[in-house]
Amino acid sequence: MIEHCLINDLLKAVVRAGHSNTRARRAVLRALCEADGQATPIQLLALGRAHLPSLGLVTVYRTLDILSELGLVRKLHLDEGCSTYALSPAGVQQTADDVRTLAASAHAHSHHVICQRCRRAVEFAGCDIQMLVDAVEMQTGYRVTEHWLEMFGLCPDCQARGAAAGEV
Amino acid sequence: MIEHCLINDLLKAVVRAGHSNTRARRAVLRALCEADGQATPIQLLALGRAHLPSLGLVTVYRTLDILSELGLVRKLHLDEGCSTYALSPAGVQQTADDVRTLAASAHAHSHHVICQRCRRAVEFAGCDIQMLVDAVEMQTGYRVTEHWLEMFGLCPDCQARGAAAGEV
DNA sequence: GTGATTGCAAATCGTTTGCATTCAG
DNA sequence: CTGAATGCAAACGATTTGCAATCAC
């Protein structure tokens, strides 16, 4: 689970954006942190109901929408479906800053490495593919303004587990 | 619309993989070519029904599944949804070759540039991000085995149209 | 008190499955 | 003729919407 203070940072950002501080929203944020910042709406509902049994799935979706607009959360595109949300580190670091700054970067490119076995995703910093972008622009005639990159593999834990079990 | 002979190439590959040459499948392939190799299942149904009114959506899905297994078509992950399929150039060029070769590469990484205005996607060749992969492995501890990259921007046509209209 | 927020039920959308009919080889 | 393929209807899972009750401020 992610540090407790993060919940308050997220909440602060949500409130600053003009939304109110409600019990249901707190439950969703708490669930998101307990899931290490990464879960599907259904998983968040289950986690959130542990603290607020009356929590509804609709509210989970609506809260994710808000977080998404603020750039605090991102949708991951996995092959099996595109309904996993992950906390955006960029957002986490800046929750104390101006919300508008965040919103502006909400749709910038995001980059995750995703474990093929346990599904855990980590956002990585620094993405220098400008050379590749240039090459593609030349090759295709497109003017490229954004890109979206995801890597897949095994996280450290699963590498260890795999080795122990003698697999892969 | 894509050259007519392509339909036959695709069909040939499907037959070679052990599936039969049916009227419905021909209609779907034809639709795919008419859509310049890029469409959603619903769009393919509409196009296909122009030639075979009895065509069912289920068959469109099943045909896309086959093409997908053979690596002849790929699913694009757009932000609005992940249900657009695009012909894979690699597949197109190799339809005459051994189908097993194709199937083996079906799940390799795919790379598209997608126009943000007209949604047209082009697959680009050559992807040299090994350095980036190395950096990410070092940074995160993950062992990266695959990656998935998409670029977004404006295609040549839409750049021209935008300039003419005085926009963007 | 008032408008925002909630949660339910129902609608909607995309996709898959069961099954009887039809077709290709 | 026989198994593969089709298309319909229905099931299904994920997401959205209408609406009355509730809550935050």
User: Per-residue pLDDT averaged across A50-70, rounded?
Assistant: 95
B117 contacts A125 by C-beta, under 8 angstroms: no
pLDDT at B96: 42
- Cross-strand bridge partners of residue A122: A113
Distance from CA of A14 to the nearest CA of B (A): 23
Beta strands in chain A (DSSP E): 38-39, 73-78, 81-87, 111-115, 121-123, 143-154
| Nearest nucleotide from residue A21 CA, by C1' atom | D24
Given the DSSP bridges, would you call strands B73-78 and B81-87 parallel, antiparallel or unpaired? antiparallel
Q: At what angle do helices A41-51 and A57-69 cross, to 10 degrees?
A: 110
B7 contacts B26 by C-beta, under 8 angstroms: yes
User: CB within 7 A of strand C: which residues qualify?
Assistant: A 19-20, 22-25, 52, 54-56, 58-59, 62-63; B 15, 20-23, 40-42, 57-58, 61, 65, 81-83
Pull the structure tokens for residue A115. Answer: 């474990």
Q: What is the DSSP letter of B123?
A: E
A167 contacts A154 by C-beta, under 8 angstroms: no
A77 contacts chain B (CB < 8 A): yes
Q: Which range, of A53-57, A123-127, B18-22, B103-107, averages the lowest pLDDT?
A: B103-107
Tell me the CA distances in angstroms from B61 to A31, B25, B86, B119, one per residue in order.
36, 11, 14, 21
Predicted TM-score (pTM) of the model is 0.75
pLDDT in tens, B139-166: 889 998 878 787 878 888 888 876 666 5
pLDDT in tens, B36-78: 778 899 999 999 999 999 999 999 999 999 998 988 888 877 7
Report the alpha-carbon distance of residue A99 to residue A15 in Å, rounded. Answer: 10
Using the structure, give the distance in angstroms from the CA atom of B136 to the C1' atom of C18, rounded to a whole number. Answer: 47
Of the pLDDT bands very low, low, confident and very high (cuts 50, 70, 90), residue A51 is very high
Using the structure, give the distance in angstroms from the CA atom of B62 to the C1' atom of C17, rounded to a whole number. Answer: 12
Longest dimension (CA), chain B: 55
A44 contacts A28 by C-beta, under 8 angstroms: yes
The reply to whether B77 has its C-beta less than 7 Å from any atom of strand D is no
pLDDT in tens, B77-123: 776 667 778 766 544 444 444 444 444 444 455 677 877 777 677 87
Report the alpha-carbon distance of residue A106 to residue A71 in Å, rounded. Answer: 4
Distance from CA of A45 to the nearest CA of B (A): 22
> A-contacting residues of B 119-158, CB under 8 Å?
122, 124-129, 132-133, 135-137, 139-156
